[in-house]
Amino acid sequence: MNDQLKHKKATYHLYTFLVSKIIGSLGSHVYAFGISMYILSLTGSSLSFATNILLSYLPRIIISPFAGLLSDRFPRKWLVLGGQAGVILSVSILLIYTYTFELSLIAIYCVTIFNSIFSTFSSVAFTSSIANLVNEERLQKAMSFNQLSMSISGIGGPIVGGMLFGFVSMEIFLLTFIIAAIVTLTLESTMNFKLYQKETSTPATNSTEKESMLESLKAGFTYVKDKRVIRSILWTALWLNLFFTSVNIGFGFILLTILKLDPRLIGITEAGGAIGILITSIYFASRSNVKYPLVVVKRSTLMTSFLVISLAFPLFFDFSSTVNFIYYFIVMVLFGGFGVITNTPIGVMLQVSIDEEYRGRVFGIVEMMAMSMMPVGTLLFGVLYDVLPAQWILIVSGCILIGIVFTLLRPSVLKMAHPELEEKTLEPVLEK
């Protein structure tokens, strides 16, 4: 295939990727909103609601490394499409069950588990294929489009779900999700997942067929262990996700229970995060690749850590509801923006720096480590907010986050990632 044809195909991939992600994510958000509201209205129990969330986390944590292993052994396109088809099948069975009998909590839990398993295979295989779908110069745009689709669906999903809930049956929620998933599957089936795949002839590649599953999985962990920069990124992600959970758990609690903010204003405030993601994603999509991604990541995570501390500020004063609303809305916009500034460059860096034959396994490990602390953090901070003042939880969490960033992303790691970087300056963060 000549370069001009490849360029056209990559452009097609880029915008097909954006459309499919928006449709798929929007359908998922509408479905998640409907299921969440149904569980709460059926049981009135936050424990039942939390159980459903936990059942969506645990399979991803357990399955991710194996999904990555299969992504390195089998055609990734078929894993993406197979995972998507599995999700469609499981929700279709739930729809048939609902028509035949009646939607029940046990049925929802079962489908949540299967959805989590199937979507893990699909998402890990797709993530490890992005560098094969577009050329290196467009990787940042592709990663930005991924963040953009999440922000659009994050804003639109709850709005559409809120409009539908109470006016239509749960069958409509399920059908909406199925239609969106089918459209996503159809679009993804038209992509060439080997467009920019590099031919490799390394010993690891040639021996993959002869390795047992366990040996191949172990090779993935050994690869990560031997790559100091990637190892530092993974450990940073692990600990950051644990302490950033203090915001996920405490934000609504603080605004509703402590500051007595109007629930409608809380909804708008939370949407600020999606707005920040949207604005920053558009900015990154219009730029060429960041030259020193790990420097950008260090600075953006430091700023996000200070934002965690800043959430405690209104709790020391007696501000009006209007001031609290404006303050927290601005903070959430900044949270969303810095999240994109962190995730986009690091995503590009991983796509470029990981060898083709290990990419699936590494991204499986990345997903496992990124999510493994979320259940622990949810339980930990759920207990802490009941027994300790919220402001001190946020301040301590923010300070620990700052310490984690300075420890795991120290200058020696940055120098290793970017050997051409002058150790004195570390200045040119957003240069091409």
Mean pLDDT on 35-39: 79
Calculate mean pLDDT across residues 323-351. Answer: 88
Task: Mark whether 158 and 19 lie in a shared domain.
Answer: yes
Phi, psi dihedrals of residue 129, rounded to the nearest 5°: -105, -10
Cα separation of 276 and 335, whole Å?
Answer: 7
Q: Which of 168, 190, 212 is the last residue of a domain?
A: 190
Q: Which residue among 139, 170, 190 closes a domain?
A: 190
- Is residue 318 one of the residues assigned to a domain? yes
* Whether residue 102 sits in one domain with residue 34: yes
Beta-carbon contacts of residue 95 (< 8 Å; ≥ 6 apart): 171, 174, 175, 178
> Exposure pattern of 316-348 as b/e (b: 16+ CB <10 Å)?
eeeeeeeebbebbbebbbbbbbbbbbbbbbbbb
Q: Let me know if residue 430 belongs to a domain.
A: no
Taking the C-alpha atoms of residue 341 and residue 86, their distance in angstroms, rounded to an integer, is 33
- Averaged confidence pLDDT in the chain: 82
Token digits of residue 209:
């067929």
429 pLDDT higher than 60: no
Residue 275 and residue 325 in one domain: yes
Out of 190, 207, 242, a domain closes at 190
Q: How many CA atoms lie within 13 A of 72 on its CB side?
A: 31
First CA to last CA distance, the chain: 29
Rounded CA gap, 51 and 29, in Å?
A: 18
Look at 314 and 375; give whichever has higher pLDDT: 314
- Identify the band that residue 354 occupies on the pLDDT scale cut at 50, 70 and 90: confident
pLDDT at 87: 93
CA distance 165 to 169: 8
Residues 352 and 297 in one domain: yes
Are the C-beta atoms of 362 and 230 separated by less than 8 Å? yes
- Among 130-144, 191-205, 337-351, the minimum mean pLDDT is found in 191-205
As a whole number, mean pLDDT of residues 191-203 equals 70
Q: Is residue 208 part of a domain?
A: no
Query: How many CB atoms sit inside 10 A of residue 260's CB?
Result: 9
User: Model pTM?
Assistant: 0.78
Please say if the pLDDT value at position 59 is more than 50: yes
Q: How far is 40 from 341, CA to CA, in rounded Å?
A: 35
Where does 79-128 show beta strands of DSSP type E? none
pLDDT of 400 above 70 = yes
Confidence of residue 149 (pLDDT cuts 50, 70, 90): confident
209 domain-assigned = no
In this structure, how many other beta carbons lie within 10 angstroms of the beta carbon of residue 81?
20
Domain span at residue 18 reads 3-190
Structure tokens at 222: 């050994």
3-state helix/strand/coil string of 126-162: HHCCHHHHCCHHHHHHHHHHHHHHHHHHHHHHHHHHH
In a domain, 33, yes or no: yes
List Cβ neighbours of 22 (8 Å cut-off, separation of 6 or more).
Answer: 148, 149, 152, 153
**Are residues 335 and 241 both part of a single domain?**
yes
- Asked if residue 206 belongs to a domain, the reply is no
Mean pLDDT of 81-96: 94
Examine residue 431 and state whether it is found in any structural domain, yes or no: no
Give Cβ neighbours of residue 287 (< 8 Å, ≥ 6 apart). 140, 432
The pLDDT of residue 166: 67
Number of separate domains in the chain: 2
Rounded distance between C-alpha atoms, residue 288 and residue 17, angstroms: 19
Give backbone dihedrals phi and psi of 161, rounded to 5 degrees, phi first. -60, -40
Same domain, 285 and 155: no
Tokens representing residue 295 in the block: 């420097």
Render pLDDT for 312-326 as a digit per residue (tens, 0 to 9).
Answer: 999 898 888 889 889
Task: Specify the range with the lowest mean pLDDT, choosing from 21-30, 194-203, 204-213, 271-280.
Answer: 204-213
Nearest CA to 22 out of 188, 193, 218 is that of 188
Radius of gyration of the chain (CA): 22
Residues 14 and 160 in one domain: yes
Q: State whether residue 227 is helix, strand or coil.
A: coil
Domain contains 253: yes
**88-102: buried (b, 16+ CB within 10 Å) or exposed (e) per residue?**
bebbbebbebbeeee
Do 249 and 171 lie in one domain? The reply is no
Which CATH number do you get for residue 63?
1.20.1250.20
Distance set, CA 296 to CA 150, 299, 310 (Å):
21, 5, 21
| Residues 320 and 377 grouped into a single domain | yes
In terms of average pLDDT, the best of 40-44, 71-75, 270-274, 305-309 is: 305-309
Examine the domain organization and report whether 134 and 282 are in the same domain. no
Domain co-membership, 31 together with 138: yes
On whether both 24 and 132 belong to a single domain, the answer is yes
Per-residue buried b or exposed e for 226-258, using 16+ beta carbons within 10 Å of the residue's own CB = ebebbebbbebbbbbbbbbbbbebbbeebbeeb
Q: Does residue 422 surpass a pLDDT of 80? A: no
